[in-house]
């Protein structure tokens, strides 16, 4: 393990951005998001939750697959490869890091999504642990210990005050670390002690969080029994405005639509994020199998809490990042749903 003084971080970013596109949590007006770093940007490493999760860097909001053009009776097709240069994401929080792992389960299993794979291969992820969770955080309910979790990161950082501890996690992370070696220092035994103190303090902070008792493993019933709780789903879904905010901000939601955009004799085929909360989601030629908002809301939570774990070794498709808790205009979030289904303990 190495250490880097926070004062020297701009030098690190300068160096990395000379080789890669560098994305950092950057504040623009009042919103923090992972954005391309340039000198002078307002980097906010204290922010725990960017408005949009960093999933947009591995799974872009829109992505063109091919371009087409009519020429007489012929339709010429031109495939479009993955856009973007090799990149580094600096400061990915543990919940969002696990979100990327959950996306990997979907997109990297057979048949592999080759666009996603290429985005993942081009990227180097530098995570940043959390020792001061917010009131709307509940990542521990989904198996993320934010003082320890670094699965999938190439380099893991731990903020111990004036200094960040720097831990290489992969050959890619090692290569980047080597190129920055003159900026990094050796850790002292006091640094390591401080890290362990913070990890210990985190445990008691987490127990005090308002959502600490949420436990999806306590939800009882078979898939069919949970699905059939119509009265409960009606009650839960009544307030939903179908705005889709919960899906677009969520680090684990991964549904997308494929559309053709035609202008004159030419056009593009692209994919774009979609939301199961929208009334035209799963709309097919014969109609839509989900005709009410209750059915759509039920689908979202059944997928996250029942279907996904069933097909992915018990992992839930939620990481407790708290974005939907913070952002849903109707105050309908997954924490409330889990409690209503009996998942509290």
- Judged by the rule CB under 6 A, the positions of this chain that interact with ligand SF4 are 240-246, 249-252, 277, 304, 318-324, 328-330, 332, 334
* Residue 103 or 246 with smaller CB distance to ligand SF4: 246
- Least distance from C-beta 190 to ligand SF4, angstroms? 35
The tokens describing 294, both together, are 């209750």
Minimum distance of ligand SF4 from residue 2's CB (angstroms): 31
Across the chain, the runs of DSSP E, i.e. the strands, are 2-5, 21-28, 31-36, 62-71, 74-79, 87-92, 123-128, 155-159, 163-168, 185-186, 256-263, 266-273
What count of other Cβ atoms lies within 10 Å of the Cβ of residue 190? 9
Q: Nearer to ligand SF4 by C-beta: 180 or 242?
A: 242
Smallest distance, ligand SF4 to C-beta of residue 247, A: 7
Q: In the bound complex, what is the minimum distance in angstroms from residue 317's beta carbon to ligand SF4?
A: 8
* Paired strand residues for 35: 24
Measured from the CB atom, the residue of 48 and 176 that comes closer to ligand SF4 is 48
Name which of 12 and 324 has its Cβ closer to ligand SF4.
Answer: 324
Q: By C-beta, is 54 or 173 nearer to ligand SF4?
A: 54
Question: Could you please report the per-residue DSSP string of 209-235?
Answer: STTTTB-GGG--S-HHHHHT-HHHHHH
**CB neighbour burial string for 96-131, b if at least 16 within 10 angstroms, e if fewer:** bbbbbebbebbbeeeeebebbeebbebbbbbbbbbb
Shortest distance (Å) from residue 145 CB to ligand SF4: 16
Which C-beta is closer to ligand SF4: that of 191 or that of 274?
274
- Count of beta carbons in the 10 Å neighbourhood of residue 18: 9
Residue 184 token pair:
């990094």
Work out how close the CB of 220 gets to ligand SF4 at its nearest, in angstroms, rounded to a whole number. 20
Q: Say if residues 62 and 113 touch (Cβ distance below 8 Å).
A: no
């Amino acid at each position: 393990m190495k250490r880097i003084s926070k004062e020297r971080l701009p030098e690190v970013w300068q160096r990395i951005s000379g080789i890669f596109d560098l994305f950092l949590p950057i504040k623009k007006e009042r919103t923090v998001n992972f954005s391309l770093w340039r000198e002078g940007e307002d980097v906010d490493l204290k922010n725990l939750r960017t408005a949009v999760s960093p999933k947009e860097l591995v799974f872009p909001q829109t992505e063109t697959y091919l371009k087409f053009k009519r020429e007489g009776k012929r339709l010429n097709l031109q495939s479009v490869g993955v856009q973007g240069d090799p990149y580094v994401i600096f400061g990915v929080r543990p919940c969002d890091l696990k979100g990327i792992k959950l996306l990997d389960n979907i997109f990297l299993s057979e048949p592999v999504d080759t666009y996603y794979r290429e985005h993942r291969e081009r990227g180097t992820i530098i995570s940043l642990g959390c020792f001061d969770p917010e009131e709307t955080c509940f990542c521990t309910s989904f198996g993320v210990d934010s003082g320890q979790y670094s699965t999938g990161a190439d380099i893991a950082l731990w903020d111990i005050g004036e200094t960040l501890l720097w831990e290489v996690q992969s050959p890619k992370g090692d290569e980047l670390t080597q190129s920055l070696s003159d900026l990094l220092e050796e850790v002292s035994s006091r640094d390591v002690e401080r890290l362990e103190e913070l990890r210990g303090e985190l445990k008691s902070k987490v127990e005090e969080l308002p959502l600490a008792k949420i436990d999806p493993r306590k939800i009882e019933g078979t898939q069919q029994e949970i699905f059939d709780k119509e009265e409960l789903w009606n009650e839960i879904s009544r307030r939903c405005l179908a705005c889709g905010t919960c899906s677009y901000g969520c680090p684990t939601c991964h549904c997308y639509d494929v559309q053709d955009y035609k202008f004159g004799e030419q056009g593009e085929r692209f994919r774009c994020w979609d939301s199961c909360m929208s009334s035209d989601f799963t709309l097919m030629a014969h109609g839509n199998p989900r005709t009410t908002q209750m059915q759509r809301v039920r689908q979202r939570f059944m997928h996250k809490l029942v279907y996904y774990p069933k097909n992915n070794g018990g992992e839930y498709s939620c990481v407790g990042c708290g974005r939907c808790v913070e952002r849903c205009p109707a105050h309908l979030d997954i924490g409330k749903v889990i409690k209503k289904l009996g998942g509290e303990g």
